Amino acid sequence: MTLKIGDRLPSAVFTTPTGDGPKPVSVDDVFKGRTVALFAVPGAFTPTCSARHLPGFKEHAAELKSKGVDAIACVSVNDAFVMGAWAKDQGVSNDEVIMLADGNGDFTRKLGLSMDASGFGMGERSQRYSALVRDGVIEQLNVEQGGEFKVSSAEHLLTQL
């Protein structure tokens, strides 16, 4: 069952890349007491994710924060090393976008937003989505239809603030 607006995020532990190596970070660490623009990508370094999705949130970070967003977080079913390399490749600091590696897909499955990408040799991955999360509760949720990039963009999320 897919979580919906008004639902609380499930508890989970991500791994985030830091200068000191990968560190565990819980859902509460990221979302408790804050307003977070969360977005998920099917995979780091994939075409749409690298050309449009992550760059859009980097480009609009100041505007999102001016509208009350405390933090921006990107989740992907990748490991922290891949997420760290992707952030470096994209010129994104952890202050701009918190990179959340959901390496085993536990968080993504709990949300009900996993997808089977084994036809592309990628195994289980996350659907592409964006959400506005206030103190751990989903206020907006924008899940893309397969292969699309419309409602999960930073630009679309800005229209919902």
Mean pLDDT of 9-17: 97
Write out the H or E segment, with its range, that includes residue 101: strand 98-101
Mean pLDDT of 60-75: 97
The active-site residue, picked from 49, 64, 132, 154, is 49
Asked if residue 122 has pLDDT above 80, the reply is no
The pLDDT score that the predictor gives to residue 72 is 98
pLDDT, greater one: 75 or 94 = 75
Report yes or no: 115 and 90 within 8 Å, Cβ to Cβ.
no
Report yes or no: 63 and 158 within 8 Å, Cβ to Cβ.
yes
CA atoms within 13 A on the CB side of 98: 21
Q: Which residue has the tokens 């921006």?
A: 72
For the whole model, what pTM was predicted? 0.94
- Mean pLDDT, the chain, whole residue set: 92
- The verdict on whether 49 is a catalytic residue reads yes
Read off φ and ψ for residue 97, nearest 5 degrees: -140, 120
Residue from 139, 105, 94 nearest 14 by CA: 105
63 forms beta bridges with none
Chain-centroid distance of CA 88 in Å reads 16
Question: Domain boundaries in the chain?
Answer: 13-159
> What CATH code would you report for 13-159?
3.40.30.10
